[in-house]
Amino acid sequence: MDMVINGVTRGMRGEVRVPPDKSISHRAAILGALAEGVTTARPFLRSADCLSTLACLRSLGVELGLEGEALRVEGRGPGGWREPQGPLDAGNSATTMRLLAGALAAMPFRCEIRGDSSLSRRPMARIVEPLRDMGAEVEALGEGSRPPLVIRGGRLRGIDYEMPVDSAQLKSALLMAGLQAEGETRVRGGKASRDHTERMLALMEADISFQEDAVVVRRSSLRGREVAVPGDISSASFLLAAAALLPGSRLVLREVGLNPTRAGFLSVLNSMGALVMESSYRESANEPRGDLEVGSAVLSGVEVEGWRIPAMIDEVPLLAVLGCRAKGETVVRGAGELRVKESDRIAAMCAELARMGGRLEELEDGFVAYGPTPLKGARVDSHGDHRIAMSLAVAALCAEGETVISGWECVDISFPGFAELLRSIL
């Protein structure tokens, strides 16, 4: 499906909520299914990725249902999971595939998990190897250790593991396996990546502890809980960036998740010159949230190095757009993981923004954007990747003329209603 967006000269104004957090929604469903008792996630994100997780859990015999804006999971512990009738379909969602693989590594049955063409290109060796070390039989059937995955779970033993990549999905998979393993599972080196799993495990009374550079879990049963889900800061970021770029904007976003392992983009926006104000800060279900207010600003280029990347991993494509409109050079390095996301996000953003007149240089692990460059409307492609589609929509709003974004339907992966919400504040 094509989306046509015209450049605008007016600002973005209003006060809105963004959809619930995707990462927390996935985790509430999966951990709720491993717990004893009822877990509710409110509001639950009804996006394609989270619905993939729910469909997989149902095929595993987990009883759950959507009630109004909430998800209700009738947790019966890991013993309540059943061998599925056929392969599980994780759709486009690597979070579904990798987190479920961790949970399934301890289950006494065989299970296959598949994905769509994009997910089938994503690397799985990172989870296959440590889950095998823990004692599970795991195989990635695709060439080069890619999906589908076949898991024959069994008795697991804890491991002491140093993460080779800063990935929350890998860390979470190992923690889910560790919950069901003998002894202690120690995961080192993943501290910069999002810590929603650790926070929710603590909320559900897992035996979890934190050391300087490690998180440690022991076999424990979880208790079902009420999980209040804040707005997704990654979804909020598209609106914040557009408001910063369009002159005359003043935008307020209510109840956005402000977990520090996710909020790196806010400090980058601030260092570029857009003042993002936080208010009404509070915690619920172990996760911080608050309101954000931003106005238009004259932006300057920024350098973002490796250690700052994990806390804004999904916002890096958007930074390429800001970099085109900011004065000076915007340099991103140490973001090689972007090449193995839903698309090769470095190549995709450099190619598509170039069609709009952007001047970018592609680096192996990042890019340099030279600005300020006026953007002009063009025909561009989402590469089937929701974050590329929405980043290009932000570029289109501050471009001159009409932009046509093909493959727009992928926006439903994380942000159903994005176009309507944009219209309401323009």
Q: Which residues bind ligand S3P (CB under 6 A)?
A: 23, 26, 95, 167-169, 172, 193-194, 313-314, 337
CB of 293 to ligand S3P, least distance (A): 25
Is residue 216 a contact partner of residue 25, using CB atoms and an 8 Å limit?
Answer: no
Pick between residue 52 and residue 95 the one whose CB is nearest to ligand S3P.
95
Nearest 5°: CA angle at 232, between 230 and 235?
Answer: 155
Between residues 321 and 397, which has the closer beta carbon with respect to ligand S3P?
321
What SS3 class is residue 324?
helix
Question: To the nearest whole angstrom, how small is the minimum distance from the Cβ of residue 84 to ligand S3P?
Answer: 22
Name the token pair of 347: 């190549």
Q: What is the DSSP letter of 2?
A: -
Task: Measure the CA–CA gap between 122 and 415, rounded to whole angstroms.
Answer: 22
Q: Which residue has the tokens 């392969």?
A: 87
- Determine contact, residues 180/106, Cβ cutoff 8 Å: yes
| CB of 193 vs ligand S3P, minimal distance in Å | 6
Least separation in angstroms between residue 17's CB and ligand S3P is 20
Looking at beta carbons only, is 26 or 254 nearer to ligand S3P?
26
408 three-state secondary structure? helix
Q: How far is the CB of 388 from ligand S3P (least distance, A)?
A: 13
Q: How far is the CB of 24 from ligand S3P (least distance, A)?
A: 8
β-bridge partners, 366: 363
**Cβ closest to ligand S3P, residue 233 vs residue 324:** 233
Among residues 43, 14, 38, 11, which one has the least CA distance to residue 289?
A: 43
Minimum Å gap between C-beta 392 and ligand S3P is 18
Question: Judging by beta carbons within 10 Å of its beta carbon (0-12, 13-18, 19+), is residue 14 exposed, middle or buried?
Answer: middle
| 15, two tokens | 């006060």
Radius of gyration for the alpha carbons in the chain, expressed in angstroms and rounded:
21
Structure tokens at 38: 């009822």
- Active-site pick, 314, 381, 385, 412: 314
Given a contact cutoff of 8 angstroms between Cβ atoms, the answer to whether 333 and 314 are in contact is no
**β-bridge pairing 366-371 and 359-363:** antiparallel
> In the block, which residue shows the tokens 């050391």?
211
Nearer to ligand S3P, 23 or 235 (CB): 23
Question: Based on CB atoms, which residue is closest to ligand S3P, 52 or 172?
Answer: 172
- Nearer to ligand S3P by Cβ, of 26 and 191: the residue is 26
For residue 37, which phi and psi values (nearest 5 degrees)?
95, 180
Name the nearest CA neighbour of 177 among 222, 136, 213, 223.
136
Give the nearest distance from C-beta 32 to ligand S3P in angstroms: 16
The DSSP element (H or E) to which 227 belongs, if any, is strand 226-228
With beta carbons less than 8 A apart as the criterion, state whether 359 and 373 touch. Answer: yes
Bridge partners of 162, per DSSP, are 188
Q: CB 65: neighbour CB atoms within 10 A?
A: 11
Active site residue 195: no
Look at residue 86 and give its three-state secondary structure. coil
Nearer to ligand S3P, 40 or 261 (CB): 261
Q: Catalytic amino acids? A: 314
